[in-house]
Amino acid sequence: DGRCIEGNDRPPSEVFIHTEIYEARPDVNAVAHFHHDLTTAFSLAEGATLRPIKNHAVRWESGIPIHPDPGHVDTPALGKALASTLG
């Protein structure tokens, strides 16, 4: 539920990116959350067509998931929506 279970620290505000993905996908063992410059640029290019071009991108041969909300993921509902987009 996003609360610390030990210590006095607060979890990061994006904790629900992680918790909701783990909830939706028990097979996932790690979530990497970062702001790579190139991927951030694509998030600003409305109508851009993304095409997988490397062999590792075969996982997206049926299409690259695009999350419709670029806002800050800081609630369980927003985290669930993101997890749903990721599949």
For the segment 42-83, what is each residue's pLDDT rounded down to a tens digit?
A: 767 777 777 778 888 887 778 778 888 888 999 999 999 999
For the segment 3-45, what is each residue's pLDDT rounded down to a tens digit?
A: 888 888 888 889 999 999 999 999 999 998 888 887 777 767 7
- What pLDDT, on a 0 to 100 scale, did the predictor assign at position 46? 74
3-17: burial string, b at 16+ Cβ within 10 Å, e else: eeeeeeeeeeebbbb
pTM above 0.75, yes or no: no
Could you give the CA distance from residue 7 to residue 57 in angstroms, rounded to a whole number?
40
The structure tokens listed for 56 are 């590792």
